[in-house]
Amino acid sequence: MKKTKKTSKGKNSKDKDSNSNSIGKNSKAEDLKMNSESGDGQFLTTNQGLKINDNQNSLKAGERGATLLEDFILREKITHFDHERIPERIVHARGSGAHGYFQVYEPMKKYTKANFLQNPNEKTPVFVRFSTVAGSRGSTDLARDVRGFSVKFYTKEGIYDLVGNNMPVFFIQDAIKFPDLIHAVKPEPDNEIPQAASAHDTFWDFISLMPESMHMIMWIMSDRAIPRSLRMMEGFGVHTFRFINEKNNSVFVKFHWKPLLGVHSVVWDEAQIISGKDSDFHRRDLWDNIENGNFPEWELGVQIVEEKDEHKFSFDLLDPTKLIPEELVPVKRIGKLTLNKNPYNFFAETEQVAFHPGHIVPGIDFTNDPLLQGRLFSYTDTQLSRLGSPNFHEIPINRSLSPVHNNQRDGHMRQTINIDKTSYDPNTMGGGCPFQAKAVEGGFTSYAERIDAKKIRARSESFFDHFSQAKLFFNSQSKPEKEHIINALIFELGKLKSDDIRSRMVGRLTFVDTGLAKDVAAGLGIPVPKPEQPINHSIPADGNPKNFQPANIDPPVEKSEALSMKNTIKKSDTRKIAILATDGVTDKTFNSIRSALLNAGATPAVVATHLGSIVSSKGSNIKVDESLLTTSSVLFDAVYVAGGKESIDAFLKAPESMEFLNQTYKHFKPICINNEGIELYNASDACQKPSDKNDEAKLAEAGVLINKSPEEFISAVAKHRFWNRQMC
């Protein structure tokens, strides 16, 4: 056998197949330095090498006008972004879905001619997909992240997709910045770290240079980013849309989904533990509750603004980084969404469902929101890449219940077998079919909005206010919620390697609230930087930078109750309650609490020292749901320690029971102690311990109930958290 000569490719060898540039031959720092100093890396260009003059604004018909299809820079940028990964979704990869129906409460014909919003007796089938944004399909449900909340209505007039999030605003104002945002928040490209997390340099580098993101940052750093359940979070259409009635009169509309269980969250420490204990926590919660008949419900709300009032606010209705405070325009609840069936097959339904904000029906139309305009292009392009064919609408989960008749033919994975010869319009060979539908016959017509503007890359001055609503959101939070935002910012910015980015970001916080900036700076161990106005990244055609400095605008209202979870709906329904009980538990107390919890609509689970079954003090066999080794307190909403000396003695010998109680106390959850259970509680690390009846009363106010009735415990469960609890 002929021996081949080994070639040495050591440090000083030359590889004839290597690229002519120097990347890879030097240290990473040297490569980056050389690239930044070379002329090749000095200007942004298209893929064809054309230097880009403005990478901040899409091409519009006027500063507040529609985005133009002519914008080849926007199309190239988003097309490349949409096709970066297959087949997993680039964003919203990890999702959960469910079937259900929607019913309107009363006819909405005054505002819209949309058919599914007219008949209160009609149930419109829906499919809903919830998702995280930044993480991959294999990431955790409990990441600090935005949650997608998208609803596909199978209406008689065709598919209508209300594609939204659990937060009413977004990071950016113009779709041309969307690839930049996602590139920044995704794992860093050199090491693919961190997964499903924004606590890294590239994200905060981008955010610190994009002051328009500050309102959304307040939301993402708040408890809204770590919901207790998908069933307990709000949904929003984010953008401003139009309603159009039969008389062709238009009003602006914002969409809201209001959960009937209230809006609830977990705390950050709890979220991190849940991610390790059960990364499918939200998926499992949604699936199990639907299987058990606890059907999640939301009311659809709308904020309606007459056209004459478009410019009456201190903010711009078309700015997706702004919301309309409910004190200015109340939310009118117009119908109810109910999810009552789980998918039969996750891939065929939840994974293959294709949403698109451009899927609308007569009576609903777009506005010139520049983020929405870009999404109208991006979603179709993404589905073509991810689902592999322009025939993605023929996948069963995406099919319209309304008949589809058009001249579109063939293509990869075509399922429809067309038997006629004609595939063009107009024709006579097919009898002229399919015909165009007149407006009175249900044909869609775009709203005839007057446009009189120059073709320009620019942003309306009404979009220059970046901080007023960030102030409003922070001012509206309760004391615990503010503390959580501060701690979240300290955690996120504390993960950064760059001192400059950390300091710049704290400087931005001074424009929101000086106390917030001071507290975050103290937690990071840095001085509060001198406030610096945001850097202007937009260079108009005339070469003179526009004044992008935000005006000192006060919030539209001082506070908005709807922005805080403090006053949300409080219910014990579907709450998951751990009953700590093992062999020797007292029959009377166990049976009474279990029965009361079931009658209240809660879900009790017996947590014992071992699996299988336990034997009560009177010899009854009780099925065990979880052992201390297979579960954790973070997976429950409250804990009840049942009495019985033998049972409590067994728990006292199990260190895991101490951890269970300690975490429950630490996470501000309701705790109820029965009889001998007080020994277990006194052995825990809880700061507040009872010594007399007065102490018991104070403990009850902090959500620790000693020998209280099941009804009192259930009332405490409904309150969700006791933020007044003393911490050691």
Catalytic residues: 92, 165
User: Could you tell me the two tokens for 671?
Assistant: 């705790």
* Under 8 Å between Cβ of 92 and 132: yes
Nearest to 353 by CA among 195, 155, 163: 163
| CA–CA dist 302, 333 (Å, integer) | 6
C-alpha triplet 3, 7, 8: angle, nearest 5°: 140
| CA–CA dist 539, 52 (Å, integer) | 10
Give the amino acid at 139: S
* Under 8 Å between Cβ of 468 and 553: yes
* Under 8 Å between Cβ of 624 and 547: no
Measured in degrees and rounded to the nearest 5, phi and psi for residue 455 equal -75, 120
| Cβ within 8 Å of residue 30, ≥6 positions away | none
| CA–CA dist 500, 195 (Å, integer) | 23
| Cβ within 8 Å of residue 294, ≥6 positions away | 573, 574, 601, 603
Beta-ladder partners of 101: 125, 338
DSSP 107-119: --TTT---GGGT-
Measured in degrees and rounded to the nearest 5, phi and psi for residue 479 equal -60, -50
Q: Where are the beta strands (DSSP E) in 68-123?
A: 95-104
Give the amino acid at 433: C
H/E stretch holding 485: helix 479-494
Nearest to 176 by CA among 535, 460, 457, 546: 457
| Cβ within 8 Å of residue 397, ≥6 positions away | 127, 348, 349, 352, 353
* Under 8 Å between Cβ of 457 and 55: no
| Cβ within 8 Å of residue 551, ≥6 positions away | 464, 465
| Cβ within 8 Å of residue 716, ≥6 positions away | 638, 670, 672, 700, 703, 705, 722
Which letter does DSSP use for residue 577 in this model? E
| CA–CA dist 572, 700 (Å, integer) | 17
| CA–CA dist 726, 688 (Å, integer) | 7
C-alpha triplet 173, 179, 184: angle, nearest 5°: 95
Residue 728, judged by CB atoms within 10 A of its CB (0-12, 13-18, 19+), counts as exposed
Sheet with 626-627, strands from edge to edge, namely 626-627, 603-608, 576-580, 638-641, 671-673, 704-706
* Under 8 Å between Cβ of 617 and 584: yes
Q: Tell me the CA distances in angstroms from 151 to 101, 102, 107, 236, one per residue in order.
A: 10, 10, 20, 11
* Under 8 Å between Cβ of 384 and 392: yes
Q: Where are the beta strands (DSSP E) in 520-593?
A: 576-580
DSSP 620-637: -EEE-SEETTT--GGG-S
Count of CB atoms situated within 10 Å of the CB of 88: 14
